[in-house]
Amino acid sequence: MSPGQSKGADELLAGPGEPRQGSMDSEEILIGLVLALYPRKPYCLVEDWTIFNVDVTEEELNKVRAAGHRPLFIFAHKVIKDSRQRFQPGDWVRSSMCISFEDGVMFETKHTVYVLMGLGHEKKADLKTIFSFF
């Protein structure tokens, strides 16, 4: 288990998910791209990631959208580079809720753009399980 991870979260990460492809570009190319698209926002390049699609009711979905979010989170087992050095290379990270998701690579939250590198997965999960990753 990763630090701060519950047994349910560990089982969710180990379970099957839909394979997804992040960027295969070099770190240098991706950093240039994220700086061009989001010049004032911190970024975090990650590998071995999972997109969690939150299982919400229609009413909950409307509230999420009204707040300017999408019901998506990222959990990454491996940070490659964090522009503000909040996370060290090799650390794990869980995002806050998504506000935009471009080309299956640039996962934007209110405070950070997570750049998805290499292979990953997408899974459905409830908020309780997602928030068990702290």
88-126 pLDDT, tens per residue? 999 999 999 999 999 999 999 999 999 999 999 999 988
Q: Which amino acid is at 97?
A: M
| pLDDT > 70 fraction of the chain, expressed in percent and rounded | 87
| pLDDT at 67 exceeding the cut of 70 | yes
Angle, vertex CA 52, rays to CA 82 and CA 73, nearest 5: 40
CA angle 59-65-69, nearest 5°? 130
- For residue range 115-125, what is the model confidence (pLDDT) as tens digits? 999 999 999 98
The pLDDT of residue 44 is 98
Residue 9 has a pLDDT of 52
In a domain, 54, yes or no: yes
Q: What is the pLDDT of residue 95?
A: 94
> Is residue 3, in this structure, part of any structural domain at all?
no
The answer, as to whether pTM is greater than 0.95, is no
Whole-number mean pLDDT of the chain? 88
- Judge whether 11 lies within some domain: no
Residue 1 lies in a domain: no
Residue 80 domain-assigned (yes or no): yes
Does 15 have pLDDT greater than 70?
Answer: no
Domain residues for 27? 18-130
Q: How many domains does the chain have?
A: 1
